[in-house]
Amino acid sequence: MTDAVAANPAPRRVLVAAPRGYCAGVERAVVTVERALDLYGAPVYVRKQIVHNRHVVATLEARGAVFVEETEEVPRGAIVVFSAHGVAPDVHAEAAQRGLRTIDATCPLVTKVHHEARRFAAEGLPIVLIGHEGHEEVVGTTGQAPERITVVDGAADVAELDLPTDAPLAWLSQTTLSVDETRATVDALRERFPALVDPPSDDICYATQNRQEAVTEIAAQSDLVIVVGSRNSSNSVRLVEVALAGGAGAAHLVDDAAGVDEAWLAGVGTVGVTSGASVPEHLVQDLIAWLAERGYGDVAEVETVSESLQFALPPELRRDLKAAAAHTEVG
């Protein structure tokens, strides 16, 4: 036991947020690569990280997945999986030109935003996309109607928009943002652009919202919140921000238990634990075990909502799996 933990006289407990970890879109994307490797054999190429988690990527690499930044890096005629974050139409066109066999693992909720972008563009509306410039999801969504979409990173950017204030314009958002941050930006947009047109439904994905509400529930009771997730995971970074806004004494993002600084535990009675939507559960359990070794053995799960949503695998993969199963039965 470290000096920091030994010097802590407070009762020590852990509150674990639920839901946490894998969402339906991430589960679908990861399983897509796993089943593709089973069916076609290695290598299976993946454009960008399939999800933003270094442990997931390393595990799939060990099985034979090859991650590339651009489609041009994939050998002609090979199999390539598009990540859960989605791609622009020109990426599909390039893959077709190179004769690649594509499997599109874009999260269906991101695909919904793509449809909305194309519909608004077809109606002639300018579109403001709330999101982080350069994030893969934002790049993919912008590519649906690049001549129509302007990206804003938050409410502060709204004043800089060079668009008519007396004409209709539509807004969309990156699915992994903070609910409160997005609401503040939309409010700023509506104040400056009274004819603002809303999407048919909130773009913030159910899993992002559920995980933010769950961490808010434990934050006010926690001296410290530890979020398991990679630093390039937007939704994981947002969970740290939401925990602090919800009243946590401190909050930190770690890839795994090895990333925790034991000095954070000094004077801490209650540790809140959660994980981003691309984090496998075993990393959370490893952290809970690590905390138990340091006297935080009283663990309670705090569930705010139950999730049951599942997404079917991409149709091109389902087709080939079905054909393989039929061939096996005949054989």
Catalytic (active-site) positions: 137
Quote the DSSP letter at residue 310: -
Rounded Cα–Cα distance for residues 129 and 198 (Å) = 12
Rounded Cα–Cα distance for residues 83 and 75 (Å) = 18
Quote the DSSP letter at residue 129: E
Rounded Cα–Cα distance for residues 157 and 178 (Å) = 16
Report the Cα–Cα distance between both ends of the chain, in Å, rounded. Answer: 60
Rounded Cα–Cα distance for residues 302 and 215 (Å) = 9
Task: Give buried/exposed letters for 196-235 (b at 16+ CB in 10 A, else e).
Answer: beebeeebbbbbbebbbbbbbbbbebbbbbbbbbbeebbb
Rounded Cα–Cα distance for residues 209 and 276 (Å) = 11
